[in-house]
Structure 1
Amino acid sequence: MESKTLVQIVTFSRILLAIVMIACFQPHPTILIISFAAMVLAYISDLADGFLARKLSVASLDGQLWDSVADKALYIAGAIAMGNQGILHPLLVWAMVFRDVFTFATRVIFYEKIELIVDLKRLSYLHCALIYITMTAGFFEMYTLIKEGDFTNLWLVNGVALLTFVSGAYPSVKFLIIKKAPASSS
C-alpha cells in the first residue's frame, strides 16, 4: 500500500466514524458507548493522519484540505447529534455548522494563499480542543439523561460550544482581513 493511500484511509475513516457517531448518539447505554468510541477513534485519526503524512513525507496542501473536510464531517455530526437530542441549543448547532462551512469555503477560495493562516494555527488547535470538549460533555449529558441523574451539564455543553464558535470564527475573519491587506513589497 502506498504511503499516501494509507494517510488518505486514516483521514477518510473520520467521515465514516462521524456517521457512526451521529447514528449511535441515542439514549441507550450500549449504543451510546459505540457513538463515544467512534468519537474517540475519530480523534485518534485526526492526530494520526497529519503525523503519518509528515513522517511518510506525503504531506500536501490537498491532504490538509481533505483533513479539513473530514474534521468538518465529524464536527457537524457532533453538533447535529447533540441538537437532535436537545443537548445543544439550535442556534449553537447552526453557528457551529455555519462556522465550519464558512471556514472551509475560505480555505478553498484562497487555496493558493493558505500558508498565510499558519500564524493562526494555535487558535485552530484551541478550536479543535473545544469541539472535542463540547462533544465529550454532550456524551456525559446524554449518559446522565439515560441514568436519570439529577446532574446536568447543559450549561457546560452550550457554554463551551459558544466558545468553540468564537474561537473558530476569529481565525476565519482574521484570514479575510489578511487577504484584503495589500501585499507588502520588499
Structure 2
Amino acid sequence: MQRERYPGEQRGLTLFLAELQPVVELVLGQDHLLWHAVRRALQKGSLESLRHARQVFNNQPREIKQLLSLGMVEEERAGVPSKDDLLDSYATRQPEEFVSFDVAATAEGDEPVVRLRHELVDIPAIRVMVRPGTLPSSVASKLRAIADLIERDRRLLSQRFWSDRHLHVEHDASDSVERG
C-alpha cells in the first residue's frame, strides 16, 4: 500500500480529478485516454490510480492542459448565478412559510433563534445552509442544539402553533392601536 507524499494528497487528487472529468469529457470526449484514466482513478480511489491519472494529465501538451484548466475555472464561475438572474427567478415564485432556526456562526453556546419566515425559494422540506469555511465541529454542535430544541418542543414544526401565534400577535397589535 502506498503512502501519501504529503497530508491530504489522496483527497486533493480526488477533488482535482472530479472537477477535471466533466471538462475532459466536454473538451476531449470519452474516447480520450485522459478521460479513461480519470474515470478509472475515481472509481478505484487508490493513491496509485489517482497519481497515474494526474500524470496522464501532466503529460498532455501544454495547450490541452491550459484549455482543460481554463475549462475548470470557467465551470466554477458558471456555477455562480448573477444577482439579476437570482432576482428574476425569485420574481416568479410564490412566498412560502418556513420555520427558521438561526444560529450565529461564531458564538458556541447560543440557543437557536426560531421564527416563522416567508421565503421565495424553491427548497425541500428541510435544507441546512452553512457558510463555507465554518468549522465542521461548530456546525455539528449547532445542528445538535437545533435537534435538541425540536425534541424539547415539537410544536415548533406545527403549522397550527404558528397560525395560533400569528393570531395572538395580530390581536395584541390591534389592542395596542385601540389603546393608543
Give the TM-score of the pair, scaled to structure 1: 0.24
Give the TM-score of the pair, scaled to structure 2: 0.25
Q: Relative contact order: is structure 1 or structure 2 higher (C-alpha 8 Å, sep ≥ 6)?
A: 1
Higher strand share: 2
Higher helix share: 1
